Amino acid sequence: MSTGASARAAALLFDMSDRGLVAVAGDDRVRWLDGMVSNKVSALAPGPARSGCSPAPLTARGRIVPVLRVLVRCAVCSLELARELVAPVVERLERYVIADDVALRDATGDRARLGLEGAGARACLARACRGALPALAPDCIADVELAGVRVEVAAFGWSGEDAFQLFVPPRASDDVAAALAAAGAERAARDELEVLRVEAGVPATGSELSEDTLPDEANLGRAISTSKGCYTGQEVIARLRSRGGVKYRLVGIRPAAPGGALPGAGAAIERADGRRSGELSSRVVSAAAGGAIGLGFVHRDDAEPGTELVCDGARVVVCALPFVAPASAALPDAGAPGVSGAPGPANARGGGGD
């Protein structure tokens, strides 16, 4: 198993069975979704270039329900989110289906889930597909043939590197995983993905994202459309932005002392005079970052990198995100088809919340 910087340069294969899908069908699905989430679903269309986005359903107070992705297919829109949130999200959204031709269902069991992340992911997937990998824009989805079956591949992840989510017929999951391993993928534990996520500064549901979080607090501005029509929570977001923005910001946190540790998630972050600034939300130990690192929310006045604060009695320092520069940016194009995005025409990054 690769570790540290070498993990980012690899193609890491993850079991993503803790992720879920909600299928939204019916003739009114696109119009209805546009009123439910913060991004512009009506601007999407089936295909590898414009079939996905990263919106957030919001409460009337502008808080995040969860962050998810909308993937548009010909006859259905799929909402991708944490598996444990599928039932409550379906229940919440169904309250707003009044006279609309819209039907929601838990589609998690329709497909097995694998994730392929790292700077080597694109080339690995292209080899497994024998070069037939379409140019996917970030968050978008397309079909490929892999191990003799049709697999849906979507360009997103959590590591800050090239990343792909594979939606696989359940009976073929082992064969697809074996084909990816034969093409160079390394099987990895989800703990490793958590380290990569924190290194990249990507917020996650249950850690950074909850109904107490505003999108702009979690650096999720790209999940908000400023040009679409009305949606739940829009007035709160517009008012906050017109009045100078949110009070808290998601930042990196590390111990001020070399080799120091961080307390558990939920620990208060304070100023030197004891006044509360925020809270630690995630922590890991990262070989690539040189020790303990974490994510947390602090008051915007304390969000400047280099600011010293106190967490559980120990001095900590605010850090810019990401902690670790993506390896994908440093690697030359191997000539394999890939996804379009920054930097360069053949790159898509895993990141942006989940």
Q: Could you read off the pLDDT of 100-111 as tens digits, one per residue?
A: 999 999 999 999
Question: Which domains does the chain possess?
Answer: 1-188 (3.30.1360.120), 198-319 (2.40.30.110)
Res 38: pLDDT:
81
C-alpha closest to that of 41 among 49, 113, 251, 33:
33
pLDDT band at 47 (very low <50, low <70, confident <90, very high): confident
Mean pLDDT to the nearest integer, 46-75: 75
What is the three-class DSSP state of 209? strand
On the question of pLDDT at 344 being above 50, the answer is: no
Which DSSP symbol is given to 49?
T
pLDDT of residue 48: 80
- Which of helix, strand or coil describes residue 4? coil
pLDDT given at position 315 = 98
Q: Is residue 239 predicted with pLDDT exceeding 90?
A: no
219 has a pLDDT exceeding 70: yes
CA angle 294, 295, 301 (to 5 degrees): 120
Token reading at 280 = 């630690």
Q: How many CB atoms lie within 10 A of CB 82?
A: 18
Helix (H, G, I), strand (E, B) or coil at 293: strand
Residue 345 to residue 340: CA distance in whole angstroms: 5
pLDDT digits (tens, 9 = 90+) for 160-216: 999 999 999 999 999 999 999 999 999 999 999 999 999 999 999 989 988 888 888
What pLDDT was estimated at residue 347?
Answer: 32
Instruction: Give whole-number Cα distances, 23 to 44, 69, 167, 270, in Å.
Output: 16, 12, 14, 43
Mean pLDDT lowest for which of 22-36, 178-192, 213-227?
A: 213-227
The residue whose two tokens read 């559980």 is: 312
Element (H, E) at 114: strand 112-117
Instruction: Specify the pLDDT at position 49.
Output: 75
Would the pLDDT of 1 be above 60? no
Cβ 50 vs Cβ 140: under 8 Å = yes
* DSSP state at residue 205: B
Mean pLDDT value across residues 313-322: 97
pLDDT of residue 346: 30
Reported pTM: 0.88
